Amino acid sequence: MSHAWEENRGISQSFGFNWQDTEENVVTSKELVDMLINIVARGGNLLLIVNPDGQGALPDIQVKRLKEIGQWLKINGEGIYYTRPYDVIAEESIRYTCSKDRRTVYAISLDWPGDRLELNTVRPADNSKIYLLGNDVPLNWEYKDGKTFIFIPEYLQDMEKRPCKYAYTFCIRQ
């Protein structure tokens, strides 16, 4: 995108307090994180609207969503804050951002990729280090036949050992 833009979205179905909000009819934390990623990858900003009740307090359901988004950002924020759109915005369930100096590319997988992540867009430099944000160990990778393959260790296949619950950010330092 060549101009700044913003999407306004409430956690609830309405732009005001709705006493009928439940876990079933309010946007999930995963949906909100995916929305944020999609917007940032396209060069936008998400204005997330909260809906205080008549006493000015946030309903517990909204507090829960904000805390979960905050937990995700604490680990993955490097791929969101101060980033720019990459040359390619998306491929399948992957969204891309990059650092302002373009020396770091972030491939954010909306779903757990299994034992390897395949990228059709990014070709790391020969000496690049690739990390899963929230995990300090560099990942093994190879570039072959026009694709980058990032190999994910066995211990991370255990959901309890992953750095977050959803949307995983792979940091490619060029």
Q: Are residues 101 and 42 in the same domain?
A: no
Instruction: Please tell me the predicted confidence (pLDDT) of residue 17.
Output: 76
Q: Are residues 52 and 38 in the same domain?
A: yes
Q: Is 131 helix (H, G, I), strand (E, B) or coil?
A: strand
| Dihedral angle of Cα 135, 147, 96, 65, to the nearest 10 degrees | -50
User: Helix %, strand %, coil % for the chain, to 5?
Assistant: 25, 30, 45
* Mean model confidence pLDDT for the chain: 94
Q: Model confidence over 25-82: pLDDT tens digits? A: 899 999 999 999 999 999 999 999 988 888 889 999 999 999 999 999 999 999 999 9
Q: Model confidence over 76-112: pLDDT tens digits? A: 999 999 999 999 999 999 999 999 999 999 999 999 9
Instruction: Please tell me the predicted confidence (pLDDT) of residue 151.
Output: 98
Range of the domain at 47: 6-79
Q: Are residues 99 and 154 in the same domain?
A: yes
The percentage of the chain sitting over the pLDDT mark of 70, rounded to a whole number, equals: 99
d(CA 109, CA 91): 10
Residue 147 reports pLDDT greater than 90: yes
- Total domains in the chain come to 2
Alpha-carbon distances of 8 from 5, 14, 135, rounded to whole Å: 10, 12, 32
Instruction: Please tell me the predicted confidence (pLDDT) of residue 21.
Output: 85
Q: Are residues 97 and 127 in the same domain?
A: yes
- In contact, 40 and 83? CB cutoff 8 Å: yes
**pTM of the full structure:** 0.94
Q: Model confidence over 4-33: pLDDT tens digits? A: 899 999 888 777 777 788 888 899 999 999
d(CA 70, CA 109): 18
Residue 1 reports pLDDT greater than 60: no
Q: Are residues 111 and 135 in the same domain?
A: yes
Q: Are residues 108 and 66 in the same domain?
A: no
Residue 2 reports pLDDT greater than 70: no
